[in-house]
Amino acid sequence: MSTILSSKTEIKTISKDAQAMLRRAREEGIETVWDRLAAQEPQCGYCAMGLSCRNCAMGPCRVDPFGEGPQKGVCGANADTIVARNLGRSIAAGASAHSDHGRDILEVFEQTARGTTTGYHITDEAKLKALAKEYDVSVDSRPVADVARDLADAMLEDFGTRKGRLGFLGRVPPKRAELWKKLGVTPRGIDRENVEMLHRTHMGVDNDYVNILLHGLRTSLSDGWGGSMIATELSDVMFGTPKPIMSQVNLGVLKADHVNIALHGHNPLLSDVIVQAASDPELVKLAKKKGAAGINLVGLCCTGNELLMRKGVPMAGNHLIQELVIMTGALEAMVVDYQCIMPSVTDVAKCFHTQVISTADKAKFPGATHMSFDPHRGLEIAKDIVRKAVEAFSNRVPDRVRIPVEPVPMMAGFSVESILAALGGTPEPLVNAIKEGKIRGAVGVVGCNNPKIPQDEGHVTLTRRLIENDILVLVTGCAAVANGKAGQMVPEAAEMAGPGLKGVAKALGIPPVLHLGSCVDNTRILVLAAALANYLGVDIDQLPLAGAAPEWYSEKAVAIGTYVVASGIYTVLGVQPPIFGSKNVVNLLADGLEGVVGAKFAVEPDPEKAAILIRRHIEAKRKALGLPAIEPEKIQLEEPAAARA
């Protein structure tokens, strides 16, 4: 394999484990995501600005951003229409990914209620009953399975078109729900909004960029308050609602003397039963017979987050670690479900003994072994997969094993339920801490890694500056893993926080950065924001809250950012979205939306500056609520990052 990697690999990532593996990649000529990014440069300027369109066979078309070349596609679509259509399709793709994941969980939940699965149970009956009440499903003295079946039916209706309104909209603060109704963006059905976006963006349907983007808000809301929320809530019912739990993170979680299996992707359905299978006495015995000390499961990306949150399974890393974990030479199997799995993992695996095992019929990978997941035989398939990994241990080349670092401890498991429990069952102590200014506000730092940004630097720097300034940080997805690796997610990290947040975190024995879960679990942030707004009798946009996606790459992140803004939360992106070909679209998203939904987007690649933008926003919201506030214009960059680090 060719390698284009320069000798300056260290600047690709701030993670020591990744740096070590990149050195190995360079030595052995193994291609990585950073090489392929370099090979793509310069990337297409039209596409980067959202100005290219291939929605029909009269095209492909592009609009010249400098005004000299064509200003319209063959059909007559201008820059505004093309940019808005492209953005709308990205939102729909991201929302569809989350929502289809939600449906997969829902279908297995329904089959579990009918008693036709193996390895699945209703773990959190109290949560099941609470959800049933929200969906007007009768609970009183009925068998749990009956309640679950009726709840599943009601939730399946959310995907269709017959109800006209999603079941979880009862959680939305009344003022926000009223606003959505007035704007015509109340999500009606999950599939409906996504299909309608594809319809609207077909040639010759919706040509009005404002109208397309309003539907973009509705499509994203069908994800945040629909598909993703169903995924989170039903995963809690089946696999347990997370509670604070200690674990470990980085490539050091691999064990040289164990069979190592990485669980990668997003859906916890199969990985949860693999956790059960890995402790099967016969398989453990087989591993020992092969010369291993045992079977070690580790997580990657959001499947990893799901297992970390509920079972404390250690986390090998985030998005840009997925190729590098194979290069440890200590991985027997990478079991993948779907989303964010680079097709390149099978190429890297060819250089080692690692088996890549795909499991979802909708996500096959050339070069992988496909072991089709079927919930009716869940545990049996999980055992087959673990057995295959154990057998691969015989092919390991001990001299090739390089586990580069020691693992870092990390606390996870902060569901809304566990946060409220830590606060004594009510949001009051948190609200009081915010009112008194001990905590200035809260920010969700979420999303991916992107090789265009040194891995983890955006997440870690932004989070650090926020906690230093007494802002509580809630993390999910790859942002959570980045903060874990940096040691910012243990109770002792309270020492890194400003005096107010430090006091609160120490009193509760929690880190200043709370892990709320996978990317579908961003809905926990919505639920918490709604609970705070409802407690205070205000709308979400009045609260001192913000969102940030410093290293985002994925269409799912586009959907998340959009539903967060549509829910009233200001959001700062660290990577420029492909919209800058239309001034009108940029003005709407970065300014005009404020007057429509009370929140807007900003783009700021420098995490130091992003922290300033967010702190100013939070203080402005505090001031508007009549809380003690710092004058926003007094918040300036104080000194260069290097001097503070």
CB of 90 to ligand SF4, least distance (A): 15
Q: Which is nearer to ligand BF8, 261 or 342 (CB)?
A: 342
CB of 209 to ligand SF4, least distance (A): 14
Q: Report the alpha-carbon distance of residue 469 to residue 634 in Å, rounded.
A: 14
Q: Which is nearer to ligand SF4, 59 or 632 (CB)?
A: 59
Question: What's the half-sphere exposure (Cβ side, CA atoms, 13 Å) at 514?
Answer: 30
Residue 478 interacts with which of ligand BF8, ligand SF4, none, CB < 5 to 8 Å by class = ligand BF8
Q: Report the alpha-carbon distance of residue 557 to residue 221 in Å, rounded.
A: 13
Structure tokens that stand for 82 in this block? 């093309």
Beta carbons within 10 angstroms of residue 4's beta carbon: 12
CB of 56 to ligand SF4, least distance (A): 3
Angle separating helix axes 301-311 and 268-278, nearest 10 degrees: 60
Q: Report the alpha-carbon distance of residue 90 to residue 86 in Å, rounded.
A: 6
Looking at residue 330, its amino acid is A
Residue 447 interacts with which of ligand SF4, ligand BF8, none, CB < 5 to 8 Å by class = ligand BF8
CB of 63 to ligand SF4, least distance (A): 8
Quick note: the x/- pattern for ligand BF8 over 285-304, rule CB under 6 A, is ----------------xx--
Q: Which is nearer to ligand BF8, 14 or 596 (CB)?
A: 14
Query: Strand ranges (DSSP E) for 404-470?
Result: 408-412, 441-445
Applying the rule CB under 6 A, the residues between 213 and 272 that interact with ligand BF8 are: 266
Beta carbons within 10 angstroms of residue 405's beta carbon: 17
Q: Which is nearer to ligand SF4, 61 or 548 (CB)?
A: 61
Residue 302 interacts with which of ligand SF4, ligand BF8, none, CB < 5 to 8 Å by class = ligand BF8
Interaction of residue 447 with ligand BF8, rule CB under 6 A = yes
Identify the CA nearest to 521 among candidates 268, 200, 198, 326.
268
CB of 477 to ligand BF8, least distance (A): 3
Angle separating helix axes 281-289 and 378-392, nearest 10 degrees: 10
Q: Scan for tokens 């809690």, then name that residue.
A: 236
Q: How, if at all, do strands 52-53 and 61-62 pair? A: antiparallel
CA distances from 290 to 282, 505, 524 (A): 12, 46, 43
117: Cα separation from own chain's centroid: 28
CB-based burial of residue 426 (10 Å sphere; 0-12 exposed, 13-18 middle, 19+ buried)?
Answer: exposed
Interaction of residue 319 with ligand BF8, rule CB under 6 A = yes
Query: What is the phi/psi pair of residue 53, to 5°?
Result: -140, 135
Task: Among 105, 221, 356, 448, indicate the residue that binds ligand BF8 (CB under 6 A).
Answer: 448
Interaction of residue 519 with ligand BF8, rule CB under 6 A = yes
Residue 574: strand, helix, or coil: coil
Per-residue burial over 227-243, b if 16 or more Cβ lie within 10 Å, else e, is bbbbbbbbbbbbbbbbe
Q: Are 522 and 548 contacting, i.e. CB atoms less than 8 angstroms apart?
A: no
CB of 618 to ligand BF8, least distance (A): 23
Q: Which is nearer to ligand BF8, 302 or 504 (CB)?
A: 302
CB of 297 to ligand BF8, least distance (A): 18
Note the residues at the interface with ligand SF4 (CB under 6 A). 53-56, 58-61, 73-75, 77, 82, 203
Residue 485 interacts with which of ligand SF4, ligand BF8, none, CB < 5 to 8 Å by class = none
Structure tokens that stand for 532 in this block? 């705070």
Q: Report the alpha-carbon distance of residue 513 to residue 26 in Å, rounded.
A: 34
Q: Report the alpha-carbon distance of residue 102 to residue 135 in Å, rounded.
A: 16
CB of 10 to ligand BF8, least distance (A): 22
Residue 203 interacts with which of ligand BF8, ligand SF4, none, CB < 5 to 8 Å by class = ligand SF4
Residue 340 interacts with which of ligand BF8, ligand SF4, none, CB < 5 to 8 Å by class = ligand BF8
Q: How, if at all, do strands 295-300 and 355-358 pair? A: unpaired
Task: Among 451, 477, 484, 517, indicate the residue that binds ligand BF8 (CB under 6 A).
Answer: 477
Spatial neighbors of 273 by CB under 8 A, at least 6 apart, are 119, 120, 378, 379, 381, 382
Q: Which is nearer to ligand SF4, 216 or 413 (CB)?
A: 216
Radius of gyration of the chain (CA): 24
Q: Report the alpha-carbon distance of residue 484 to residue 290 in Å, rounded.
A: 33
CB of 88 to ligand SF4, least distance (A): 13
Q: Which is nearer to ligand BF8, 255 or 266 (CB)?
A: 266
CB of 64 to ligand BF8, least distance (A): 32
Q: With CB under 6 A, what is the number of residues at the site for ligand BF8?
A: 15
Q: Are 352 and 290 contacting, i.e. CB atoms less than 8 angstroms apart?
A: no
Residue 73 interacts with which of ligand BF8, ligand SF4, none, CB < 5 to 8 Å by class = ligand SF4
CB of 350 to ligand SF4, least distance (A): 38
Q: Which is nearer to ligand BF8, 52 or 322 (CB)?
A: 322
Q: Which is nearer to ligand SF4, 48 or 183 (CB)?
A: 48
Residue 59 interacts with which of ligand BF8, ligand SF4, none, CB < 5 to 8 Å by class = ligand SF4
Q: Note the helical H segments in 184-227.
A: 190-200, 209-222
Applying the rule CB under 6 A, the residues between 539 and 558 that interact with ligand BF8 are: 554, 556-557
Quick note: the x/- pattern for ligand BF8 over 327-356, rule CB under 6 A, is -------------x----------------
Interaction of residue 316 with ligand BF8, rule CB under 6 A = no
Residue 513 interacts with which of ligand SF4, ligand BF8, none, CB < 5 to 8 Å by class = none
* Binding region for ligand BF8 (CB under 6 A): 266, 301-302, 318-319, 340, 447-448, 477-478, 518-519, 554, 556-557
